[in-house]
Amino acid sequence: MESRLERALRKNRQDIADELLAELECPPFPLALNYVWQAWVRLRRRTPTGFNGPNPITIEAIDAFIRRTGLRLDPRDIDLIEAIDDLYLAKMAEHQASERDQQQALKDGLEQVSKQGLKSAG
């Protein structure tokens, strides 16, 4: 994203730069919920990754985290942690799908070039 922005600025394409800057803007972080964010970060760092990408944070992991750290989380906080994790998992799935699409496009392109090369050689 930043490289597209830098390129737009370098080429004096302010219209594209404004569009990209609008995509990058987000509301200010609610500092009152920082403890929920920090809990999610700690839980996420200790959640194993599976063969198909990151696994969701389980309620058992949250329960163990609360018991071991002594952090008091009410049910709304747990809902927020789960919602943050769901968003994270959805974005990671999008990213992985995009990478697979790029890899497939590269593979298809290489096969096409290979076939064309064989036709011209024959």
Q: Taking residues 55-63, report their average pLDDT.
A: 97
Whether the pLDDT of residue 3 is over 80: the answer is: no
Q: Taking residues 8-34, report their average pLDDT.
A: 88
Q: How confident is the model at residue 61 (pLDDT cuts 50, 70, 90)?
A: very high
Whether the pLDDT of residue 81 is over 50: the answer is: yes
In sequence order, the 6+-apart residues with CB closer than 8 A to the CB of 48 are 55
